[in-house]
Amino acid sequence: MKTLLLAHDFDATSEHALDVAIELARKLAAKVVVAHVYSVPVYSFPEGSSLIPSAEDAARIAEAAQRSLDEVLARRQPSAGVELSGELRAGVPDEELCRLAEEIGADLLVIGTHGRGAVARALLGSVAQRVVRSAKMPVMTVRLPPPPEA
């Protein structure tokens, strides 16, 4: 394995998944591509109208996402011990992650999961679940460790 793709959405689960990916990359002498996929929200109303963000709003969303990704890389690069790079994409997260993984020739896609139950998955869906079903390469899902017992 030479390239690991890590999906990051700027939460604690993603940070933990990044720790796992970096540790694995060290052992394999691989590089880690940290990816964030954002979508520009479009709101539809029952009467058939929609609210679409302006180009300025879309640009602000993209800029904020890029800043956040850059911060993750800047914070982790000095101590990572492996090559880290970032990739920002707009679109449907599971589709863009699978597309990017193929484009960069990722050997493994690493994604954090919140481990919600079946009801929450049925109501909300799960990016990790859709990636596992769609990816053409192995996928490693990573959950946060349980909190220490008091």
Question: What is the residue extent of each domain of the chain?
Answer: 1-43+82-150
**Cβ count near 49 (within 10 Å):** 8
Average pLDDT for the chain: 90
Distance, in Å, from the CA atom of 111 to the CA atom of 90, rounded to the nearest integer, reads 17
- In tens, the pLDDT along 61-86 reads 999 999 999 999 999 999 999 999 99
pLDDT tops 80 at residue 116: no
The pLDDT score that the predictor gives to residue 76 is 95
Provide the pLDDT confidence category of residue 126 given band limits of 50, 70 and 90: confident
Fold of 1-43+82-150: Rossmann fold (3.40.50)
The pLDDT score that the predictor gives to residue 47 is 84
- Label residue 17 exposed, middle or buried (CB < 10 Å: 0-12, 13-18, 19+): buried
CA 125 to chain centre: 15
Provide the pLDDT confidence category of residue 118 given band limits of 50, 70 and 90: low
